[in-house]
Each structure stands twice: as structure tokens, then as C-alpha cells.
Amino acid sequence: MENDGTTSLGLPEHKMLNVHSLVKSFSLDSDEVRAVDDLSFSVAPKIVYGLLGPNGAGKTTTLRIILGLLEPDSGYTSVDGIRTCDDPIAVKSRLGFVSSNDGVYPWLSVREMLHYFGDLYGVDPEVAADLTESLAGLMGIDKLLDRRAGTLSTGQRQRVTLVRGLIHDPPVMLLDEPTRGLDVVGVQTIFEYIEHLRDAEKAIVVCTHRLDEAERLCDQFGLLHQGRLQYEGTMEEVRKKSGRDHLVEMFVDLMKGEVE
């Protein structure tokens, strides 16, 4: 694994978010399952990187390792040059994380909850208060700030979660299946949000199995199958490598390969 300086498929490494030769296995009923198998990729600021794959491809496991929630068997991840294993606290404070599974504290008001996360991230309370106002204006939840989070609708809750992920203004943003369970309006909100992140010069990773959306959203693609990166690059590059026009077709090919 002496490929320092390049990713597993030969692309140059970027400093902002770097995943290097990551391996992670789980044991299920004394069977070992390789969830992530020698995975490397990196993301530069202003880039939306789509980590794509069917359910169980290892996307969420990868994100959890980057977040420091899981320890890899080997390999490492680093953010802004800091490895997670060396200083998890510093890495976590540079990462924003939004997932479709995210819940809210039903008994807190939206403002209280956002301030709480500000405190968790060590943001100065006054800065957090200012940021809450401006982000709430941006995402259209300024009227909801004093409502109890438990009374929000799904769409409102999603927007609160999106604001929550930005409360410490992180340089790297991780989105796990951000559009799952949302209607057209909700999906549109996500698109606008990601545009905003790109404008704010963040390095963004989007994990999704919705390939049509990914095609519209992302600048670079990593196709993950059984824990391994199969194709990587811009849409053009991926098309050239796979000989297929659409992500869906590429995946069908990969799945067939598995059957044979």
C-alpha cells in the first residue's frame, strides 16, 4: 500500500479530506464481513464528492470512520492534515455531519437545540447566536426558532438538521443519504443547501444510492461496491473507464459481475 500521494485509483490526493487505504471488517455470527476494503479517496474544497453504492456497499461505515465513531482495522483518515487517530477532537471540530436518520430533542426549542450543538462544538455562545440567526434566515426556519422541536414537520425538521450541521462552520461537510424520505420540496432544499456549501468553499462528501440525484449534484464520483472503489473521477472520466453513459448502468454491470 505504498501509494502515498495518490488515491487507490490513481487520482492525486487533496489535503482537506483524505481517506487512505481504509480497511474495516465486522464479525457477524462468527463470520467476517469486509465492509470497507482498501478504500482511498480525497476531496478538495469547493468539490462535491459523491460516494455512491447500493445499500451495504460500505458508505456509512466509511463516514463513521471519518467521524471517529468507528476505528478502522488499518489505514487512516485525515482532515486538514490531521489524522483522526492522532487528534479525534480536532478532526471532529472540523467536520459537519448531517444524516437522514438525525433526530431532534423534542422538548427543546429549535434555538436551544442549535445553541446546545454550538456548545458541544465549543463555539462561543455569542457567535453561535449570530450564526443561528443568519443560517435560520438562509434555510427559512427563522420563524421556527422558538418552537419546540417535537412539533416540527418532517420538512422543517430536515432544515433544522441542515442548519445544525453548519453551526460550527466546518470546512468539511459529510452528508449521509440526505434526501431519503423527503418529498420534491425537501429534495430541492437539499440541492440548494449543497449549492450553498459549494459557494462557501467546503469540501463535501455526499453518500447516496440515488444515482439520478448524484449525477445532477456531484462534481466527482466514487463508485463503491462490496467495500471497494470500482470507478472514480468526474462524470466524463467515469464514463470513459466504464464504457457506460449512466451511473445506473455502471451499477447494473457491477452487480452482474457479482452474480457471475
Partner 1 sequence: MKGRLFRLCQKELRETIRDRRTVMTLLVMPLLLYPLLSMALNRFLLTSGARATNTFFIGVDTEEEGSLLASYLADPRSKPPEPISESSGGGIAEFEIRQTETVKAIDALYQNQFDIVASVEFGSPPKVTITSFRGDGGSQSARRILVERLHWLKMNVAQEVAGANAPSFYPPVDIVVDEIGAEDEAPLLATIVPLVLVLMTITGAVYPAIDLTAGERERGTMESLMASPVPRFYVLFAKYIAVVIVALLTAMINLLAMFTTLWLSGMMKFLSGSDAFPWLAVLQILGLLILFSGFFSALLLCLTSFAKSFKEAQAYLIPVMLLALAPGMLSLMPGVELSGPLAIAPLISIVILARDLLSGVFHPAGALAAVVSTIGYAAAALAIAARLFGTDAVTRTSEQSIGTIFRRPLKSTPVPSVPSAAFMLALLVPIYFVGSNGLMKFISEYKEDISLSTQFWLNILTLALTFGLIPLTATFLGRHKVSTTFRIHASSPPRFVLQLFGAMLMGLGAWTLAHEAFVITDALGIGGLSKERIDQALGQLQAWKQVPPWLLLLTFAVAPAIIEELCFRGFLFSTFSRVLNPVRTILLTSVLFGLFHVMTGNALLIERFVPTTLMGLMLGWIAYRTGSVLPGMLMHFVHNGLLLMVGRYHEKFNFFGRELDDQSHLPMEWLVIASLVVAAGVIIMVLSTKPRASRFSNE
Nearer to partner 1, 59 or 115 (CB): 115
User: C-beta of 155: minimal distance to partner 1 in Å?
Assistant: 16
- Smallest distance, partner 1 to C-beta of residue 7, A: 24
Residue 205 CB, nearest approach to partner 1 (Å): 13
Q: Distances in Å between the alpha carbon of 39 and those of 57, 63, 72, 125, 239?
A: 12, 12, 11, 39, 21
Strand runs labelled E in 54-94? 74-79, 82-83
Output the smallest distance, CB 55 to partner 1, in A: 13
Residue whose cell numbers read 479530506: 17
Q: What is the nearest approach in angstroms of partner 1 to the Cβ of residue 47?
A: 21
**What φ, ψ does residue 210 adopt, rounded to 5°?**
-85, 90
- Residue 84 carries which side chain, given as an amino acid letter? T
Q: Which is nearer to partner 1, 35 or 211 (CB)?
A: 35
Q: Is the CB of 89 or the CB of 185 nearer to partner 1?
A: 89
Q: Which of 16, 37, 11, 3 is nearest to 174 (CA)?
A: 16
Q: Which is nearer to partner 1, 27 or 236 (CB)?
A: 27
Question: Which residue, 92 or 202, has its beta carbon nearer to partner 1?
Answer: 92
For the beta sheet containing 172-176, the strands, ordered from the edge strand earlier in sequence to the opposite edge, are: 95-99, 172-176, 203-208, 48-52, 220-225, 228-233
Chain positions contacting partner 1, by CB under 8 A: 26, 28-31, 64, 67-71, 88-93, 95, 97, 99, 101-108, 112, 115-117, 119-122, 125, 164
Long-range CB contact pairs, 208-211, < 8 A, 24+ = 208/50, 208/51, 208/52, 208/59, 208/177, 208/178, 208/179, 209/52, 209/53, 209/54, 209/55, 209/59, 209/177, 210/179, 211/52, 211/246, 211/247, 211/248, 211/251
To the nearest whole angstrom, how small is the minimum distance from the Cβ of residue 20 to partner 1?
A: 20
C-beta closer to partner 1: residue 115 or 202: 115
